[in-house]
Structure 1
Amino acid sequence: MIGVFALQGNVREHLQMLAQVGEQAVPVRRPSELDAVDALVLPGGESTTMYKLARSFELFEPLQKRIADGMPVFGTCAGMIMLADRITGGIEGQETLGGLDVTVQRNAFGRQVDSFEADLEFAAFDAPYHAVFIRAPWVERVGPDVEVLSTVRSGPAMGRIVAVRHDRLLATSFHPEMTGDARLHGYFADLVRDL
């Protein structure tokens, strides 16, 4: 069973996408609900609010432990920031769950008005993936074991890394739950099933 961190973000949309690829998915708001799932989606939202809520609901340390113990996690937009070992552009004292050996630039593509859409190439997919970027981060540096899955192919952000994977951790700068294209959720579900 796959959980969706449900204290903030596009929870319902992720639950629907996971159901679309045949996965039983549940919202996670408490440590006991986290204990009941095999994997987790960290949705987009506001990364500083997410870490504060995770602390308030006593989920922060249990999440860190589950990630360190190898639980598969799919982080999207703010979820990517939450998984990053290092961030730039964060607020003073901003914490992340860590586990993903990357440096992520928070709000790298600009403010809400700078939101955009782009078609991305993924080696795992036969056709381009249409991605929605909203106040999105990008990956500035990856560790030696991190696989770059996709980069922006045109425009001022050309070459910027927007999707990565390291072992059981998957992260995207964009919002795959907003497109109706369930391929990335299917990719994550396959990763979970292969354990």
Structure 2
Amino acid sequence: MGKKSLERVKADAATALEKYFTEGENNIDLLRSAGAAVVELRSRFQQKDGSTDWAGRSQDYRDAIRDVYTRAHLSQDQVSKLPGKLGYHVRQALGARISADELEAAGFKAEDPKIRQNARRTTAAALAATVAPSVTPAVLIVHANSLLKRADSGDGLAEMTEQEREVCRIALAAIEKHAASLSKALAG
């Protein structure tokens, strides 16, 4: 079986997107299929330096994806919702298809989005717990460690939401307030 033609790839992508919007926006399998179709489409285009346009930035790819949207009969509202709905599935399909180095070269993080999301949730829960009335020194240390790990990771603090930043400020204030008792507790 040979490689699909560009027209066939565009038709497959259009069909996947149209099915997603017409047969049920809650159907993750359709969205996953659409993500894989978009990745297949991106594989057909190159950037100016000759590398594959995995990020979908080339003008040729953008023209092709606009054609896909037209073939899929998507409204402007549906098209505007696609990055949020489809991005995760495109990234997952890319991760299954190309190496971590290629992902990073294309501007994606090599770490799986599920792992990053779980780390953010764990950190947010840990930080939120620090504002509880019965915070012990040991709990503050655990939460401070979680915050430091996040700061040291590729995820970084710059990507935190304003709500997460506020929780961090509160947690740091609690740590600062209890620093003396923490030192005494650790000194034994």
TM-score, shorter chain, exceeding 0.5 = no
Which one has a larger percent strand, Structure 1 or Structure 2?
1
- TM-score if structure 1 supplies the norm length? 0.20
Greater RCO between the two (CA within 8 Å, min separation 6)?
Answer: 1
Which one has a larger percent helix, Structure 1 or Structure 2?
2
